[in-house]
Structure 1
């Protein structure tokens, strides 16, 4: 494996837009539930110092502290220095239930607009760069979604619309409706994608690639499964689900750990670097609980995995193959 010397974080275009985002996207889901406001702000400072300009959140994040807590913590950091807003590409999401109100959820035009206004208030900003549809809403027709998006874009409250957890067919349907309206359409898809979970390769990534949509990979460490043994208490690697997966995939993970050791890199770094080597990936989300975790992956954009290493990883974690050949031949 060839290792480049230290340099600033690298940037990629977000899909077919001219917008440049850092290859590492700072995920904020831990802000509040697992990381207090002070440490969350310190992580944000450290991320900006590293050159990370892409920050992702969602309106429902907050866990037991309450819906909207994470956006509020991020807003408190942004308001401390107004210049910070212009230095980052700010992304949040809409779809999840925000209250018991039957209409305070989903992707109706009404909820999209109201949820955006609420996010702007919590974030203490006047616009969101990337507004993402957190999940599909089968009751919301694409025309209704684009009606709300067009309004928010015209008002300058959002810059681009993206999706998250969309299947390939929904990406195509939503973008075809946008094309018919003469609109840019979805510019990104935030998808579950990692060495263990590669089903996005069947339909999602090909659809995104053909429509010029940048894929933002979430859970690139498979909930900590690809990060190796836990070194601290309270993390997701201590969960029953991860422990069961460690047992079920024991041989596979042992082979992976051995490969990483031979490369002289951590399991986390190799997993993240592998994701960035895949075609169509615009950014990979890292969600540190503290500054040390962020620092431990700062070198990932500089890791260059050889064709031999990538083949070895495919042997350990087999790809799904292209659709429909993967299941119809």
Structure 2
């Protein structure tokens, strides 16, 4: 396994992050435990979850699954860099969502209880809160750090200017601020290159891409569809139809390299300087094993140029759209 530091922090994490969103709604607990054990055995030490994961009828279930797994011993908690998130609505009561000081306190204590741990390594804001001042947010986070309940904080789904706003507010308070940004980023969705990635690099944030295969569309969806192995519907179907020719060309290129499309999509992310660790969300152990293959795939300059030709990216703003 390869490791790197998370942004400007001294925290070392694996180059792949295990996403747990499927644990509970789609993956039974016994299978989830098997996947987590396999991840640790392979050297993946970076696990990501959120307080809302678990399904509409059982929000928090995924954290509970992780907590019971930690409780089985074997130094599972000590071997894991644990990341969770808050912001989403947990109940219909006031102050059970967003980033007020009260919400942060309640959400953090509830996550700690579900996860059966006394601290969280990386506590992430699942979304920007446009109603709560940053001074209030950072005061609550500073208290949590002083209490030993969290070590680092990160953002998710922020715009570039939100990252700047958060970091400048933290600097005024002499707070440490964010160390990471979790953003959608893959060959097909590259908007983060405009402002999010430049902001993250400027402020020393590691980038944690979610949906690295764009919901499976970069995992060989056309070939699997022909084989009867995958059914695409809803928004994914609309995206597939819009980008069918690009995806077909991508899958053909993967065939030229004699590699699986998903391996190439993950490897491309690992070749991007800003990326710390893409989040892989396997539903089975086999899917986890397939993701690990990307770590050993080296894409030369010609291959990277070919991928940029199939899926054009962006230059840094404002040069992308101005002189």
Q: What's the TM-score, normalizing by structure 1?
A: 0.95
Q: CA RMSD in A?
A: 1.5
Which of 239, 243, 252 pairs up with 2:237? Answer: 243
The residue aligned with 2:252 is 258
Deviation digits for residues 245-275 of structure 1 (CA, Å, limit 9, x no counterpart): 2222111111100111111111111001101
Q: Distance in 2 between matches of 1:57 and 1:255?
A: 34
Deviation, structure 1 residue 240: 2.2
**Contact 1:33–1:65 (CA under 8 A) maintained in structure 2:** no
The residue aligned with 1:92 is 84
Q: Distance in 2 between matches of 1:234 and 1:77?
A: 31
Deviation digits for residues 89-145 of structure 1 (CA, Å, limit 9, x no counterpart): 000001000100121100001101110000000000000000000000100111011
**Contact 1:32–1:65 (CA under 8 A) maintained in structure 2:** no
* 1:295 equivalenced with 2:289 (yes/no): yes
* 1:107 equivalenced with 2:66 (yes/no): no
Q: Distance in 1 between matches of 2:244 and 2:103?
A: 45
Structure 1 residues 317 and 80: alpha-carbon distance in aligned structure 2, compared to 1, 3 A threshold: same
More deviation, 174-183/155-164: 174-183
Which of 278, 303, 316 pairs up with 1:309? Answer: 303
Which of 71, 74, 82 pairs up with 2:63? Answer: 71
The residue aligned with 1:268 is 262
Moved over 6 A (4+): 231-235
Q: Distance in 2 between matches of 1:88 and 1:301?
A: 19
Q: Distance in 1 between matches of 2:240 and 2:158?
A: 28
Aligned length: 320
Deviation, structure 1 residue 183: 1.8
The residue aligned with 2:177 is 185
The residue aligned with 1:27 is 19
The residue aligned with 2:143 is 151
Which of 112, 133, 137 pairs up with 1:141? Answer: 133
Q: Distance in 1 between matches of 2:189 and 2:63?
A: 28
Structure 1 gaps of 5+ residues are 1-8
Q: Distance in 2 between matches of 1:108 and 1:57?
A: 21
**Contact 1:26–1:287 (CA under 8 A) maintained in structure 2:** yes
The residue aligned with 1:284 is 278
The residue aligned with 1:6 is none
The residue aligned with 1:3 is none
Deviation digits for residues 165-185 of structure 1 (CA, Å, limit 9, x no counterpart): 010001001111111111211
Structure 1 residues 134 and 233: alpha-carbon distance in aligned structure 2, compared to 1, 3 A threshold: farther
Deviation, structure 1 residue 234: 10
**Contact 1:12–1:21 (CA under 8 A) maintained in structure 2:** yes
Structure 1 residues 82 and 46: alpha-carbon distance in aligned structure 2, compared to 1, 3 A threshold: closer
Structure 2 gaps of 5+ residues are none
Deviation, structure 1 residue 233: 9.0
Deviation digits for residues 44-63 of structure 1 (CA, Å, limit 9, x no counterpart): 00000110000000000011
Q: What's the TM-score, normalizing by structure 2?
A: 0.96
* 1:16 equivalenced with 2:8 (yes/no): yes
Counterpart secondary structure, 1:311 = helix
